[in-house]
Amino acid sequence: MDYAFFEGKIVPVEEAKISIMTNSFHYGTAVFEGIRAYWNEKEEQLYILFAKAHYQRLIDNAKCLMMNLPYTADELVEITKELLIKSQIREDVYIRPIAYFKDLKLTPKLIDYTPEIAIYIYRFGRYLDTSKGIKAKVSSWRRNDDNSIPSRWKVAGAYVNSALAKTEALLAGYDEAILLNSQGYVAEGSGENIFIVKNGKAITPSLNEHILEGITRNAVITLLKKELLVDVIERPIARSELYTADEVFLTGTAAEITPVIQIDHVKIRNGEVGEITRQLQEVYFKAVRGEISRYKNWLTPVYEK
Ligand code: PMP
């Protein structure tokens, strides 16, 4: 049975229920995280990837919504371990922490409400096709501007923007959307950061391009530089550069490293996964499962050995 952390206790997930009157349900004033844990069969160990960084981002984002959570990042990591142990997880899983205002009151504001945090386990599998790659559509929807609903924060309400773009892409026969920012430069996917490769160099939008500061984005920059010896340039990317790129890939906790093999009507590299993307995936998937000792500091082991 799966357990959830709800109102300060670990309970069976069916018991973790909120009221329809919950304030944040109405206004999207919740912040959340997506964390993956990878099962290493040989070691019989479950590794949580970047556990502390995710909880630190959650606490920081929550603070921006004036939610003072009564837990440190380390305490939330410990609670998550407990949850995974109690649920006896021995496979890859996704973990969803969410902080919200529990008050049964209306008025879209951030003061005089009571913050709460819930954490549950979700069996995601692969979010997008990481082996064959995906087709992406440049969205007619623009990324929400950092000055309207901050794209830098993982705020629930901002995902209306993602849902519109993703739905438009799916209905048009694509797998994912690529959103431009309000200046017309490439921002990110509906739930992923984006990289292009051109002439052996990797390029990704800089952090002031109205994007989320992806934790996977950071890890991928490290791997590109240190393992693949590929330069990474952070700068604005024009939409037109997408179509002429040698390789394009998306990064995210859920999406991991997903090759993009077609954008709108244009095939990238004749629709084949690029060499740098392939090499990057290889090292990333080893690192997250604890198979590369120098990246073990990315991981939190769940089971005592
Ligand atoms: N951008 C958006 C809009 C996202 O929702 C996500 C997923 N959290 C990402 C980028 C990737 O972030 P991370 O690597 O931290 O999961």
What is the chain's pLDDT, residue by residue, as a tens digit (305 residues)?
899 999 999 999 999 999 999 999 999 999 999 999 999 999 999 999 999 999 999 999 999 999 999 999 999 999 999 999 999 999 999 999 999 999 999 999 999 999 999 999 999 889 999 999 999 999 999 999 999 999 999 999 999 999 999 999 999 999 999 999 999 999 999 999 999 999 999 999 999 999 999 999 999 999 999 999 999 999 999 999 999 999 999 999 999 999 999 999 999 989 999 999 999 999 999 999 999 999 999 999 999 98
Is the Cβ atom of 205 under 6 angstroms away from ligand 1?
no
User: What's the pLDDT score for residue 305?
Assistant: 86
Closest ligand 1 atom to 193 CA: 10
Mutate-to-test residue for ligand 1 from 122, 154, 193, 223, highest number of ligand atoms within 8 A of CB: 193
**What separation in Å is there between the alpha carbon of 305 and the centre of ligand 1?**
32
pTM recorded for the entire structure: 0.97
Is the Cβ atom of 253 under 6 angstroms away from ligand 1?
yes
Looking only at the bridges linking them, the beta strands covering 3-6 and 9-12 are antiparallel
**What separation in Å is there between the alpha carbon of 133 and the centre of ligand 1?**
18
Is the Cβ atom of 161 under 6 angstroms away from ligand 1?
no
What residue owns the CA closest to ligand 1's atom 5?
191
Is the Cβ atom of 252 under 6 angstroms away from ligand 1?
yes
166 included as an active-site residue: no
Closest ligand 1 atom to 219 CA: 14
Q: Which amino acid is at 42?
A: K
Q: What is the 3-state secondary structure (H, E, C) of the chain?
A: CCEEEECCEEEEHHHCCCCCCCHHHHHCCCEECCEEEEEECCCCEEEEECHHHHHHHHHHHHHHCCCCCCCCHHHHHHHHHHHHHHCCCCCCEEEEEEEEECCCCCCCCCCCCCEEEEEEEECCCCCCCCCCCEEEEEEEEECCCCCCCCCCCCEHHHHHHHHHHHHHHHHCCCCEEEEECCCCEEEEECCCEEEEEECCEEEECCCCCCCCCCHHHHHHHHHHHHCCCCCEEECCCEHHHHHCCCEEEEEECCCEEEEEEEECCEEHHHHCCCHHHHHHHHHHHHHHCCCCHHHHHHEEECCCC
Is the Cβ atom of 256 under 6 angstroms away from ligand 1?
no
Is the Cβ atom of 31 under 6 angstroms away from ligand 1?
no
User: What's the pLDDT score for residue 1?
Assistant: 87
